[in-house]
Amino acid sequence: MIKGLLDSKGVYIREGKVAQSLKRVDPQAYTRRSNNTVDRTNPVPYHASGFGHKLHLDQNEKLVMFGVTHVLAVDGYSGMIVSHVIMPVKNNLLIYEHIYRKSVLTYGLWEQIRVDCGREFFLTLFIQKKLRQQYGSTEIVPYVQTPSTQNLTVERLWPQVNARVNYPLKRILFSMQDRNSIDMTCPTTRYCVSHVVIKLATVGMERFISAWNSHFIAGKGVPLVLSQQRFTTQVQASVVPSTVTATQDYEQQGGSLTHFSEFGIDPLRERHDLIRLRDEHFGVDIGSYETVFTDAVSGSGDLVERALLHFLTLTQRLAQLI
């Protein structure tokens, strides 16, 4: 950095001379910088031998204040996104059902799962360990928990997800909040905002995943093509426990899980007839969620605001019938 600064000033000195001068002028600071460089160096380069070797799971909470949390799974070798789910609040049962179990039933058992140190992956890791005791290689541990900074295979995807999905929605939601168009302290509003934004974000993620898995990654190739040669261990669906069975097994072993994570309250939750009526009116009055999301990323965003407020109004009106 110092050499770059000197060069920008028109002072050209060899890098070795600069280092010698810094060490002489302030040896303690030089030592600290050197140690910091060593700390940031990964002595063991990342390696995945094939599709099915390592599966990376991670969550994104850029919209968590509006009841939207992403979780996805990426194969370490191909870079292919193999499963994704959006939920109001991160939850062990939903992650197991929609991320881990779906991935294993679709592609087979990965040799190793890699996650951060969050508690939301406990059920997944519990079942991964049990399955790996019966199937797969014994030469690699069934899972690894590391800080997020060491789970870069999946972490590198989030900036693109944010730019294409989360931030366009976040700007509109913040604007509505600033103008007091939505009150996120109201339980009904919290539910309605979360419900609609999850639908919109799901449209965006489906588009993104389709594009990502089909694009060329420098130094790798196309994820979909690379995924064709699979090294996952094929297992019968009957050996992959249902979410209910996995949860019971985990809790019998002394674990504790939150079965349902709530974000706001839907006053129509006990009336499926009114829920269907709400969805029908919303579709007629607003249109598809695909159209609304397109307006968020390439239009004015007015349709998103209209959709949110209309869903809230429909909910409040129908609640009066109960």
**pLDDT for 55-72, tens place per residue?**
999 999 999 999 999 999
Q: Where in the chain is the domain with CATH 3.30.420.10?
A: 54-252
Is the per-residue pLDDT at 25 higher than 80?
no
What whole-number percentage of the chain has pLDDT above 90? 75
CATH code linked to domain 54-252: 3.30.420.10
What pLDDT does residue 169 have?
98
The conformation of residue 252, written as its DSSP 8-state character, comes to: H
pLDDT in tens, 115-129: 999 899 999 999 999
Q: How confident is the model at residue 15 (pLDDT cuts 50, 70, 90)?
A: low
d(CA 13, CA 248): 67
Q: Which of 46, 72, 49, 60 is nearest to 206 (CA)?
A: 72
Q: State which H helix or E strand residue 226 sits in.
A: helix 223-226
The mean pLDDT of the chain is: 89
Q: Which of 112, 98, 103, 105 is nearest to 69 (CA)?
A: 98
Q: How confident is the model at residue 26 (pLDDT cuts 50, 70, 90)?
A: low
Is the per-residue pLDDT at 44 higher than 60?
no
Phi, psi of 265 (to 5 degrees): -135, 130
Q: How confident is the model at residue 17 (pLDDT cuts 50, 70, 90)?
A: confident
Phi, psi of 44 (to 5 degrees): -115, 100
- Considering the entire predicted model, what is its pTM? 0.84
Q: How confident is the model at residue 7 (pLDDT cuts 50, 70, 90)?
A: very low
The 10 Å CB-count burial string (b at 16+, else e) for 16-39 is eebeeeeeeeeeeebeeeeeeeee
Report, as an integer, the average pLDDT of 294-302: 93
Residue 109, strand partner residues: 233
d(CA 59, CA 67): 13
How many residues does this entry show for the chain? 322
User: Whose structure tokens read 């690379």?
Assistant: 226
The conformation of residue 299, written as its DSSP 8-state character, comes to: S
Q: Name the token pair of 87.
A: 């939920």
Residue 85, strand partner residues: 71
